Amino acid sequence: MAKELDTLRAKIDAIDIELLRLINERAAIAIEVGEVKRSSGDDAVFYRPEREAEILRRVLAQNPGPLPGAEAARLMREIMSACLGLEHPLRVAYLGPEGTYTHLAALKHFGGSITGIGVVSIDEVMREVAADGAHYGVVPVENSLEGGINQTLDALRESPLKICGEVVLNIHHQLLSVAAKIEDIKRIYAHPQALAQCRRWLATNLPGIECLPSSSNGEAARKVRDEADAAAIAGEVAARLYGLTILRKNIEDQPGNTTRFVVVGVKSPPPSGRDVTSLMFTTANRPGALYEIVSIFAAENISMTRIESRPLRREAWDYVFFVDIEGHADVANIRNTLALVEEKTSSLKILGSYPRAAF
């Protein structure tokens, strides 16, 4: 057996050396790409979401196994991130501090070779990108249990930034504390969305416990480091970052809890072949106004994957609608359809067209 293991390990060692050579060869080409782009002028685009989406889809489609497709794509993401870091390092703002789900979404989308900038609010993420303090920002936009994130929808409505990517993250909430047992807990900190997603579990297992809202789950975890009788709802990464004990695992009310995040930047990328367009519009307050717009998409055989309304805050019972459709706004049939929609709306804003999340 020892001889057989030595033979197999020798094969692995040889493959590792070849992998290292190929990855460095790829990195050297990435540096050359960066030099070519810089020579074209100050408006050179280094990060190409549509190009990365194309690569990841190809990995998923052509992966022969036994490595799972998502794991193969994750490894390729990290290779691309490291190569882009040599070509042109990215600064990415997210709802911080470290250990939030938004931080994890940023790492999933961009890889670990970015310079992360954790800020205290969704509005601050937008401001950081608009002021060129970050190349891109990541914000949560909707949860499978609680629906749209109102702060993000309002910020997108008012911001000149464009959506240029999306990330989908499975959310598993952990009850974290420095306390040794759950009976010692007298209060819980968490983002309001996390509290809502664990509402039934908290009512059953910690009835009457004070629940205090926090700006983020990462901030909640950081706060309870210094409070022996408090707990936070956050992810496993936050437990490791802040030295907390996981008192209870996976306390979300629904096991399929998923949050969708969007990446915001100065402009949307070109079509990738499998895209989403996000838009918002207002209509006249009259019977059938929304039906007329929805009928346009149906007549043009364009799928609406999401629709949500928010109060417009101009006067009572006035609403703005947020819609996602399949396709890119620069493609002819989508462009022509949106022109028809604009004729039926009081106002129409394209929030961005971007590649559908690859994995």
Domain boundary among 83, 117, 135: 83
In a domain, 250, yes or no: yes
Give the model's pLDDT for residue 244: 95
Catalytic site residues? Answer: 259, 261
* Residue 344 forms part of a structural domain: yes
- Counting Cα atoms < 13 Å in the Cβ hemisphere of 75 gives 10
pLDDT of residue 130: 96
Range of the domain at 56: 1-83
Tokens representing 9 are 């390990």
What pLDDT does residue 317 have?
A: 56
- Quote the pLDDT of residue 314: 61
Cα distances from 266 to residues 85, 120, 220, 306, in angstroms, run: 20, 21, 31, 23
End residue of a domain, out of 18, 53, 83: 83
Element (H, E) at 109: helix 101-110
Q: Is 41 found in the same domain as 3?
A: yes
CATH number reported for the structural domain that contains residue 26 in this entry: 1.20.59.10
Rounded Cα distance between 277 and 356, Å, is 9
Query: Has residue 295 been placed in a domain?
Result: yes
Which of 256, 279, 303 is the endpoint of a domain?
A: 256
Cα separation, 73 vs 55, in Å, equals 9
Residue 177: strand pairing partners: 245
In a domain, 182, yes or no: yes
Print pLDDT tens along the chain (359 aa). 888 999 999 999 999 999 999 999 999 999 999 899 888 776 778 899 999 999 999 999 999 999 999 999 999 999 999 999 998 889 999 998 888 999 999 999 999 999 999 999 999 999 999 999 999 999 999 988 888 888 999 999 999 999 999 999 999 999 999 998 999 999 999 999 899 999 999 999 999 999 999 989 999 999 999 999 999 999 999 999 999 999 999 999 988 889 999 999 999 999 999 999 999 999 887 888 899 999 999 999 999 999 998 887 666 557 899 999 999 999 999 999 999 999 999 899 999 999 999 87
Same domain, 337 and 280: yes
Co-location of 179 and 251 in the same domain: yes
Domain count, the chain: 3
**CATH assignment at residue 197:** 3.40.190.10
Cβ-based burial of 39 (10 A; exposed 0-12, middle 13-18, buried ≥19): exposed
At 62 the pLDDT is 95
CATH of the domain at 295: 3.30.70.260
Query: What is the number of H-type helices and E-type strands within the chain?
Result: 12, 15
Alpha carbon 61 to its chain's center: 22
d(CA 71, CA 11): 22
Asked whether residue 142 is assigned to any structural domain, the reply reads: no
Same domain, 248 and 280: no
In a shared domain, residues 243 and 280: no
244, 315: one domain: no
152 belongs to a structural domain: no
Q: Do both 67 and 18 map to the same domain?
A: yes
Give 182-244 as a DSSP string.
GGG--EEEE-HHHHHHTHHHHHHHSTT-EEEE-S-HHHHHHHHTT-TTEEEEE-HHHHHHHT-
Calculate the alpha carbon distances from 287 to 291, 294, 347, 349 in Å: 9, 13, 17, 22
